Structure 1
Amino acid sequence: MAKVCSIRGSKVRVGRKIHRSGLAKKKGGIGRHVTKTVKRTVSPNLQTKRIFVPELDRYIRVKLTAKAIKTINKNGAYATLKKAGLI
Structure 2
Amino acid sequence: MNVSIFAAVFGELKNWVMKICEITGKTAMAGNNVSHSKRKTKRRFHVNLQTKKFYVPEEDQWVTLKVSAAGIRNINKKGISACLKEAKEKGYLS
Q: TM-score if structure 1 supplies the norm length?
A: 0.78
Residues 20-79 of structure 1: CA distance to partner in whole angstroms, max 9, x if unpaired?
A: 23xxxxxxxxxxxx2x21111110110011110001100111100001101101111111
Match of 1:5, SS state, is coil
Partners of 1:38 and 1:13 in 2: CA distance: 14
Question: Which structure shows the bigger proportion of residues in strand conformation?
Answer: 1
| 2:63 is aligned with 1:60 | yes
Match of 1:6 in 2: 22
Q: 1:41 aligns with which of 37, 41, 44?
A: 44
Give % identity: 39
Q: TM-score if structure 2 supplies the norm length?
A: 0.73
Match of 2:20, SS state, is coil
Runs of 4+ in 1 over 3 A off after TM superposition: none
Unmatched runs of 5 consecutive residues or more in structure 1: 22-33
Match of 2:35, SS state, is strand
Partners of 1:15 and 1:60 in 2: CA distance: 33
Unmatched runs of 5 consecutive residues or more in structure 2: 1-16
Question: Which structure shows the bigger proportion of residues in helix conformation?
Answer: 2
Match of 1:60, SS state, is strand
